[in-house]
Structure 1
Amino acid sequence: MTSSNLKEERRGGVLEVTLNRPKANAIDAATSREMGEIFTRFRDDPELRVAIITGAGEKFFCPGWDLKAASAGENPDADYGKGGFGGLQELRGLNKPVIAAVNGICCGGGLELAISADIILAADHASFALPEIRSGTVADAASIKLPKRIPYHIAMEMLLTGRWLDAEEAARWGLINRIVPRGQLMDQARAMADELAAGPPLVFAALKEIVREAEDMKFQDVLNRINGSQFETVERLYRSEDQKEGARAFAEKRDPVWKGR
């Protein structure tokens, strides 16, 4: 599926979503709503296992909110659709891996979009910032998430000053998983997506739910919930054919065949 703002390509169990809004791949409310619909379909389609989000071209991944739309009157409190801004940040029950392939400038809401993914691969020329401070606005989602992702003082410097990080520094602070030569970015993102798509989807779902719920809970409280059968994805895993298959494959010294049931 392709629209004027987004390209959507399906390869087996992998969905690729490309922001395609020249010149900078900025996101207005209509594009955000469309992204929410795409990622909702991804979440709900049992045949899809992994998603990749990237930007068209080599200069911009995404600078976030479309300031041209804002100057034309679009309200910052506009309806951004399912999943909130960019379709990922607030999408409930998204228990499948998402890879961000950052192909250039990644700032503001674009950085918030990237850190909503599970894995971030960045081209060697990528750069990262939260420049909202310079336009008198707040990077709200980043203010919540970023100090939990990287060292507090680095996160606060980014939020308070709008300072830019190149790919090397972003990797040093753990903001991204790895740096990739720009010509190899999508090849490596696809290779990782294919590896994940061949993995156990029920285990991935359980991992994502546990990690998401545990973020603001004490260790023992989360463990008690697991032991008390209070995580739907964990219980589904423990009752599944896939768990039996995993044990059989281990005993038979062969690769398991995952069915997602």
Structure 2
Amino acid sequence: MLRLESVNYEVRDKIAILTLDEPNKLNALTTGIRAGILEGLKRADNDDQVRVSIITGAGGKAFCAGADIGNFDFDPDKARAFFIGAMEVLSAPERALKPVISAVNGIAYGGGFELAIASDFVFAAESARFAVPEIKLGLLPGFAIIRLKDIVGRAKAKEMSMLGAPVSATEACRLGIVSRVVPDDRLLSDALAFAERIAAQPRLAVQMAKSFYNRGLGGDEMRHAIDGFPFLLTHADAREGIGAFREKREPQFGER
């Protein structure tokens, strides 16, 4: 096993397993986890032995709780730089040459939800929960704002983004967010078994299938999301929402 910043990386036969490992922060997208995801998926793509990657979270309570907003900076230039880096990480499973499975244990909120939907397949433990709660910070999801509607439809994407309420693993499966719901104690073993089935298929055909189905993703829509995020941070609602989160209180958004 290798330690890539805050991500544990191991290869079992033809499967690379990336375990986000900052459970004390609910595996939030810290600098170490972001760097580890990028390095791990790059390593998997460059390893001829690896056919499929699995991303999961350590600790049982969380797959990934989203952005590490404790260090958020309201300066628009710094916010834009942060968001560009975050989008690179969140879209990494989508851009990887080889199939990526997210094995979601516990919560997948915000950036964790987005990391999952950027994957080719999502396996969810029965206890898993999914949400894009950025609205409670006076913000909107970045990657999900351009992908979620294609998965769940416009109306449901608006509902999830405007309310920020979590959905269960069963509901996420019904909506098409999740591929399979499995008992908590079988999450990794079932994801591995599925990965092994893919790994047994012709390597080039599998990679081309991913490439063809993902054609057209990215481009202008990604740039629009990046440009819009710093604007939201200049609004008083974002300062109140993030401040309330840091102070562990309910936000008091002013009437507009």
TM-score (norm 1): 0.75
Is the CA contact (8 Å cut-off) linking 1:100 and 1:119 kept in structure 2?
Answer: yes
Instruction: Report the secondary structure of 2:11's partner residue.
Output: strand
Residue of structure 1 equivalent to 2:222: none
Is the CA contact (8 Å cut-off) linking 1:171 and 1:178 kept in structure 2?
Answer: yes
The answer to which structure has the higher helix fraction is 2
- Code of the aligned partner of 1:29: T
Residues 1-261 of structure 1: pairs in structure 2 closer than 5 A: 1-3=2-4, 5-23=6-24, 24-70=26-72, 75=79, 77-78=81-82, 84-86=88-90, 88=92, 91=95, 94-213=96-215
- Code of the aligned partner of 2:134: E
Residue of structure 2 equivalent to 1:258: none
Report the Cα distance in structure 1 between the residues aligned to 2:217 and 2:69, rounded to whole angstroms: 32
Matched residue pairs, number?
Answer: 214
Instruction: Report the secondary structure of 2:124's partner residue.
Output: strand
- Code of the aligned partner of 1:15: A
Change (3 A) 1:38 1:7: same
Give the superposition deviation at 1:87.
6.4
Give the superposition deviation at 1:82.
9.7
Is the CA contact (8 Å cut-off) linking 2:14 and 2:51 kept in structure 1?
Answer: yes
Report the Cα distance in structure 2 between the residues aligned to 1:51 and 1:110, rounded to whole angstroms: 16
Instruction: Report the secondary structure of 2:44's partner residue.
Output: helix
Report the Cα distance in structure 2 between the residues aligned to 1:2 and 1:80, rounded to whole angstroms: 25
Is the CA contact (8 Å cut-off) linking 1:130 and 1:163 kept in structure 2?
Answer: yes
Is the CA contact (8 Å cut-off) linking 2:98 and 2:207 kept in structure 1?
Answer: yes
Instruction: Report the secondary structure of 2:196's partner residue.
Output: helix
Is the CA contact (8 Å cut-off) linking 2:4 and 2:36 kept in structure 1?
Answer: no
Is the CA contact (8 Å cut-off) linking 1:26 and 1:64 kept in structure 2?
Answer: yes
**Worse-superposed segment, 31-40 or 10-19:** 31-40
Report the Cα distance in structure 2 between the residues aligned to 1:158 and 1:115, rounded to whole angstroms: 14
- Code of the aligned partner of 1:144: I
Residue of structure 1 equivalent to 2:230: none
Give the superposition deviation at 1:136.
1.4
Give the superposition deviation at 1:147.
0.3
- Code of the aligned partner of 1:124: E
Give the superposition deviation at 1:171.
1.1
Report the Cα distance in structure 1 between the residues aligned to 2:73 and 2:216, rounded to whole angstroms: 40
Unaligned runs of 5+ in 2: 219-256
Unaligned runs of 5+ in 1: 217-261
Give the superposition deviation at 1:214.
5.3
- Code of the aligned partner of 2:19: T
Instruction: Report the secondary structure of 1:64's partner residue.
Output: coil
Tell me how large the CA RMSD over aligned residues is.
Answer: 2.4
Write out per-residue CA displacement over residues 93-139 of structure 1, whole angstroms, 9 at most, x where no aligned residue.
Answer: x2311110000100100000000111100000100100001101221
Instruction: Report the secondary structure of 1:84's partner residue.
Output: helix
Write out per-residue CA displacement over residues 195-228 of structure 1, whole angstroms, 9 at most, x where no aligned residue.
Answer: 1111111111111111111569xxxxxxxxxxxx
Q: Which runs of 4+ in 1 moved over 3 A?
A: 71-76, 79-83
Higher RCO structure, 1 or 2 (CA under 8 Å, sep 6+): 2
**Worse-superposed segment, 146-155 or 119-128:** 146-155
Residue of structure 2 equivalent to 1:234: none
